[in-house]
Amino acid sequence: MTATLQTVDTPDGPFTIVADADGAVLASGWTGDPEATLARIHPTLRPTGVREGDTDAAGAVRAYYDGDLARIDGVPVRQRGTALQAAGWAALRRIAPGSPLSYTAFADALGSPRAVRAAASVCARNAPALFVPCHRVLRGDGSLGGFAWGLDVKRALLAREAAT
């Protein structure tokens, strides 16, 4: 399978998208390094070839940064993982902008209130960042916790979402 790779300039730095032939985002993140983005894709979904080009998802990224935060919700994504991970990624897409959850509340939303570490792992293994908004999950004390693309980016995303 050949995928399309596109890097978009954002206020938070370059944002690279890898999309399959159907336009579903396989991975994305705040980097100009295609290899860093490709490495996040599950091995069974990893493309055998990549070409640079335009993706439909890039328009949603631009709209998000222009204030249309809901535009990312309609972008198709494709990930592979356990049943808990799949449920977690779907649940992440239901967290409203400006209303972040704690890892504990996220675990509870998954039906496993004591599985806080598993909930954190769902976020850590999320490949299509922004489109599956794992940045909307925080530590119980309200601190940022981790984020694959850096805490400065996570902080900026949350501030942008809180302001609208």
Q: What's the CATH code of the domain at 122? A: 1.10.10.10
Confidence of residue 151 (pLDDT cuts 50, 70, 90): very high
Lowest-pLDDT range of 35-44, 76-85, 105-114: 105-114
More confident residue, 116 or 97: 97
82 vs 48: CA distance, rounded Å: 23
Cα→Cα distances 47→40, 51, 134, Å: 12, 10, 23
pLDDT, position 13: 98
Residues 41 and 111 in one domain: no
More confident residue, 146 or 12: 12
Residues 94 and 137 in one domain: yes
Confidence of residue 121 (pLDDT cuts 50, 70, 90): very high
Mapped onto helix, strand or coil, the DSSP state of residue 9 is strand
Residues 64 and 124 in one domain: no
Of 19, 134, 157, 158, the active-site residue reads: 134
Residues 88 and 156 in one domain: yes
What is the span of the domain harbouring residue 121? 83-162
Residues 97 and 116 in one domain: yes
Residues 91 and 53 in one domain: no
Q: How many domains is the chain partitioned into structurally? A: 2
pLDDT, position 110: 86
Say if strands 25-29 and 2-10 run parallel, antiparallel, or are unpaired.
Answer: unpaired
Confidence of residue 111 (pLDDT cuts 50, 70, 90): confident
Residues 20 and 64 in one domain: yes
pTM, full prediction: 0.95
- Compute the average pLDDT of residues 26-31: 98
Residues 65 and 17 in one domain: yes
Q: Above 90 in pLDDT, residue 113?
A: no
- Is there a catalytic annotation at residue 134? yes
Residues 7 and 48 in one domain: yes
CB 14 within 8 A of CB 6: no
